[in-house]
Amino acid sequence: MTFLWIVDGLFLRVQAQREQDDPSVRLLPNIKPNQETRDLEICCIHANILDFYLNNVLPHHSSNNAHAHRLQTDLSRISRDLETHGCSINRYRDHQHAEEFSRRFFALDGRHRLNKALGEIDILFSYLQDYCIQTNVTVA
């Protein structure tokens, strides 16, 4: 399974990182594989968080430029690809790490939460690459 990472979304990410002002709060969980969490499960948790971005972050971003639209389109495609390759996104909606991400996101103030989430999108891409692309696992 391969993904084309968004080049056009780079400007959007850099802009959000400049605006984020609280490096002490991290939204994305840092999940390490162990005997109870395999790479595929970690991949699917992050796929669920990607779905959260598609439903709760990107639609509220105030940019109507082509880069933002392309980013949302490409992320939707990645989400579909992950589901096609075995990640049941709904299965992980109630997972403690997905719930913790959601709780942290909604605990921040409106514009700050969007900037923080957009500033961490590169971390999400790294996790998706580490746990979804580089592993050869079968369906969960």
CATH label of the domain that carries residue 127: 1.20.1250.10
Residues 6+ apart with CB under 8 A from 9: 67, 70, 71, 74, 121
In a domain, 73, yes or no: yes
With respect to residue 113, please indicate whether it lies within any of the assigned structural domains.
yes
User: Residue 29: inside a domain, yes or no?
Assistant: no
Report how many domains make up the chain: 1
Listed residue (78, 7, 8, 5) closest to 43, CA to CA = 78
* Structural domain for 61, as ranges: 3-23+39-132
Q: For 33-94, give the secondary structure using H, E and C.
A: CCCCCCHHHHHHHHHHHHHHHHHHHHHHCCCCCHHHHHHHHHHHHHHHHHHHCCCCHHHHCC
Q: Indicate whether 138 belongs to any domain.
A: no
The one-letter amino acid code at 107 reads A
| pLDDT for 72 | 85
pLDDT tens readout for residues 77-129: 998 998 888 887 777 888 888 999 999 999 998 888 888 998 898 899 889 88
